[in-house]
Structure 1
Amino acid sequence: MPTTSPQRSLELWGGLECTVVRIQDSYRNQIEETGHHRRLQDLDAIAALGIRTLRYPVLWETVAPDRPEACDWRWHDARLQRLRELGIAPIAGLVHHGSGPRYTSLLDPAFPDLLARHAERVAQRYPWITRFTPVNEPLTTARFSALYGHWYPHGRDVATMLRALYHECRGTLLAMRAIRRVTPEAQLIQTEDMGKVFSMPNLRHQADYENERRWLSFDLLCGRIDRRHSWHQAFLEAGISEAQLAEFVDAPCAPDIIGINHYLTSERFLDRRIRDYPEPFHPNGHPRYVDVQAVRVPQVDGLTGPDLRLREVWERYRLPIAVTEVHHGGARDDQLRWLKQVWDAAAGLKQEGVDMRAVTVWSLLGCVDWNSLLIERNGFYESGAFDVRCDPPRATAVAGAVKSLAHTGDFDHPALDGLGWWQRDDRYLAPVPREGEPRVIRTHRKLLITGSTGTLGRAFARICESRHLQHELLGRADMDIADPASVQAALLRHRPWAVINTAGYVRVADAAKEPERCFRENSVGAEVLAKACAELGIPYVTFSSDLVFDGSLGRPYVESDAVAPVGIYGQSKAEAERRVLQACPDHALVIRTSAFFGPWDRHNFVHLALREVAAGRPFEASDGVMVSPTYVPDLVHSTLDLVTDHEKGIWHLANPGMVSWYEFARQAAQQAGLDPGLVRRSADAGRAVTALSSERGLILPGFTNALQRYFRENTLPWEAQEGSRAVA
Structure 2
Amino acid sequence: MSSKQVPPLELWGGIECTVNRVGEQYFDQLDRNGHNTRIEDLDQFSALGITTIRYPILWERIAPNGLAQADWSWADERLSYLDTIGLRPIVGLVHHGSGPRHTSLIDPAFPEKLAEYAGAVAQRYPWVSHYTPVNEPLTTARFSGLYGHWYPHGQDDATFVRTLLNQCRATVLSMQAIRQINPQAQLVQTEDLGKTFSTPLLAYQAEFENDRHWLSLDLLCGHVDPSHPLWRYLRQSGAEESELLWFQANPCPPDIVGINRYVCGDRFIDERIDRYPERTRGGNGKHQYADVEAVWVCADGIYDHATLLKEAWERYQRPLAITEAHLGCTREEQLRWLKEIWQVAQGLQAEGVAMRAVTVWSLLGTYDWNSLVTRADDFYEPGVFDVRSPVPRSTAIATMLKSLAQGQEYTHPLLDLPGWWQRSQRLLYPPVSYAKNLGGWADTAPAETLATPMMRRTKGAKTTIASTPPLVITGATGTLGQAFARICEIRGIPYYLLSRQEMDITKPATVTSVLDELQPWAVVNASGYVRVDDAEREPYLCRRINADGAAILADACAQRSLGLINFSSDLVFDGAHKQPYLESDGVSPLNVYGHSKAAAERWVLHHHPCALVIRTSAFFGPWDEHNFLTIALRTLRAGNVFMAAEDAIVSPTYVPDLVNASLDLLIDGECGLWHLANPGAIAWSELARWTAQLAGLDVSSVQSCSTKTLALAAPRPAYSVLGSERGILLPDLSQAIERYLEECHQL
Aligned twin of 2:737: 707
Task: State the AA in 2 paired with 1:421.
Answer: W
Relative to structure 1, the CA distance from residue 561 to residue 308 in structure 2 (aligned partners, 3 Å threshold; closer, same or farther) is same
Aligned twin of 1:612: 635
What SS class does the counterpart of residue 472 from structure 2 fall into? strand
What SS class does the counterpart of residue 536 from structure 2 fall into? coil
Aligned twin of 1:675: 698
What SS class does the counterpart of residue 573 from structure 1 fall into? helix
C-alpha contact 1:417 1:443 (8 A) present in aligned 2? no
Cα distance between partner residues in 2 of 1:237 and 1:671: 51
Question: Deviation per CA, 1:290-313, whole angstroms, max 9, x where unpaired?
Answer: 1111122236x1661322211211
Aligned twin of 1:588: 611
Q: Which moved more, 1:476-485 or 1:381-390?
A: 476-485
Which sections of structure 1, spanning at least 5 residues, go unmatched?
Answer: 718-728
Task: State the AA in 1 paired with 2:701.
Answer: L
Task: State the AA in 1 paired with 2:412.
Answer: H
Aligned twin of 2:81: 82
Cα distance between partner residues in 1 of 2:653 and 2:559: 32
C-alpha contact 1:599 1:715 (8 A) present in aligned 2? no
Question: Deviation per CA, 1:354-390, whole angstroms, max 9, x where unpaired?
Answer: 1111000000000100110111110000000000011
Cα distance between partner residues in 1 of 2:67 and 2:685: 58
1:527 lines up with 2:557 in the alignment: no
Aligned twin of 2:681: 658
- Normalising by structure 1, we get a TM-score of 0.95
Task: State the AA in 1 paired with 2:213.
Answer: R
Aligned twin of 1:555: 579
Aligned twin of 2:661: 638
Cα distance between partner residues in 2 of 1:324 and 1:692: 40
Cα distance between partner residues in 2 of 1:410 and 1:444: 17
Relative to structure 1, the CA distance from residue 57 to residue 437 in structure 2 (aligned partners, 3 Å threshold; closer, same or farther) is closer
**Deviation of the 1:279 alpha carbon:** 5.4
What SS class does the counterpart of residue 414 from structure 1 fall into? coil
Alignment of 1:11-30 (within 5 A): 11-30=10-29
Aligned twin of 1:721: none
Cα distance between partner residues in 2 of 1:541 and 1:443: 23
Cα distance between partner residues in 2 of 1:140 and 1:275: 28
1:694 lines up with 2:693 in the alignment: no
**Deviation of the 1:205 alpha carbon:** 1.5
Relative to structure 1, the CA distance from residue 4 to residue 591 in structure 2 (aligned partners, 3 Å threshold; closer, same or farther) is farther
Aligned twin of 1:261: 260
Task: State the AA in 2 paired with 1:702.
Answer: D
Alignment of 1:329-728 (within 5 A): 329-408=328-407, 410-430=409-429, 433-434=445-446, 439-440=451-452, 442-585=466-609, 587-685=610-708, 688-714=718-744
C-alpha contact 1:191 1:324 (8 A) present in aligned 2? yes
C-alpha contact 1:599 1:716 (8 A) present in aligned 2? no
Aligned twin of 1:123: 122
**Deviation of the 1:410 alpha carbon:** 3.6
**Deviation of the 1:440 alpha carbon:** 3.7
Cα distance between partner residues in 2 of 1:56 and 1:650: 35
Task: State the AA in 1 paired with 2:270.
Answer: D
Aligned twin of 1:192: 191
Identical-residue share of aligned pairs (%): 54
Question: Deviation per CA, 1:562-619, whole angstroms, max 9, x where unpaired?
Answer: 111000000100111011111111x211000001011111011111111111111111
Q: Which moved more, 1:239-248 or 1:81-90?
A: 239-248
C-alpha contact 1:600 1:716 (8 A) present in aligned 2? no
Cα distance between partner residues in 1 of 2:635 and 2:593: 27
Question: Deviation per CA, 1:300-351, whole angstroms, max 9, x where unpaired?
Answer: x166132221121112111110000000001111111111111111111112
What SS class does the counterpart of residue 72 from structure 1 fall into? coil
Cα distance between partner residues in 1 of 2:696 and 2:238: 55
**Deviation of the 1:69 alpha carbon:** 2.0
Aligned twin of 1:291: 291
What SS class does the counterpart of residue 308 from structure 1 fall into? helix
C-alpha contact 1:56 1:93 (8 A) present in aligned 2? yes
Cα distance between partner residues in 2 of 1:435 and 1:386: 35
Cα distance between partner residues in 1 of 2:211 and 2:519: 52
1:40 lines up with 2:39 in the alignment: yes
C-alpha contact 2:64 2:101 (8 A) present in aligned 1? yes
- Normalising by structure 2, we get a TM-score of 0.93
Task: State the AA in 1 paired with 2:656.
Answer: P
Task: State the AA in 2 paired with 1:329.
Answer: G
What is the count of residue pairs matched by the alignment? 713
Question: Deviation per CA, 1:671-704, whole angstroms, max 9, x where unpaired?
Answer: 2221111111123449811011111111111111
Question: Deviation per CA, 1:427-461, whole angstroms, max 9, x where unpaired?
Answer: 11236535766544742321111111111001101
Task: State the AA in 2 paired with 1:234.
Answer: Y
C-alpha contact 2:651 2:721 (8 A) present in aligned 1? yes
Cα distance between partner residues in 2 of 1:258 and 1:472: 46
Which sections of structure 2, spanning at least 5 residues, go unmatched?
Answer: 432-444, 454-465, 709-715
C-alpha contact 1:326 1:362 (8 A) present in aligned 2? yes
Aligned twin of 2:711: none
Q: Which moved more, 1:657-666 or 1:686-695?
A: 686-695
Task: State the AA in 2 paired with 1:683.
Answer: S
Q: Which moved more, 1:56-65 or 1:473-482?
A: 473-482
Relative to structure 1, the CA distance from residue 528 to residue 282 in structure 2 (aligned partners, 3 Å threshold; closer, same or farther) is farther
C-alpha contact 1:544 1:590 (8 A) present in aligned 2? yes
Question: Deviation per CA, 1:450-504, whole angstroms, max 9, x where unpaired?
Answer: 1111110011011101111011111112211122221111111111111110111
The root-mean-square deviation of aligned C-alpha atoms, in Å, is: 1.9
Cα distance between partner residues in 1 of 2:241 and 2:174: 22
Task: State the AA in 2 paired with 1:318.
Answer: Q
C-alpha contact 1:600 1:715 (8 A) present in aligned 2? no
C-alpha contact 2:275 2:430 (8 A) present in aligned 1? no
What SS class does the counterpart of residue 364 from structure 2 fall into? coil
C-alpha contact 1:17 1:31 (8 A) present in aligned 2? yes
What SS class does the counterpart of residue 739 from structure 2 fall into? helix
**Deviation of the 1:529 alpha carbon:** 1.1
Alignment of 1:31-70 (within 5 A): 31-70=30-69
Cα distance between partner residues in 2 of 1:412 and 1:478: 30
C-alpha contact 1:518 1:572 (8 A) present in aligned 2? yes
**Deviation of the 1:411 alpha carbon:** 2.1
**Deviation of the 1:280 alpha carbon:** 5.5
Cα distance between partner residues in 2 of 1:716 and 1:366: 30
Aligned twin of 2:325: 326
**Deviation of the 1:139 alpha carbon:** 0.6
What SS class does the counterpart of residue 67 from structure 2 fall into? coil
C-alpha contact 1:297 1:429 (8 A) present in aligned 2? yes
Cα distance between partner residues in 1 of 2:645 and 2:5: 65
Cα distance between partner residues in 2 of 1:332 and 1:302: 21
Task: State the AA in 2 paired with 1:493.
Answer: E
Task: State the AA in 1 paired with 2:612.
Answer: L
Aligned twin of 1:724: none
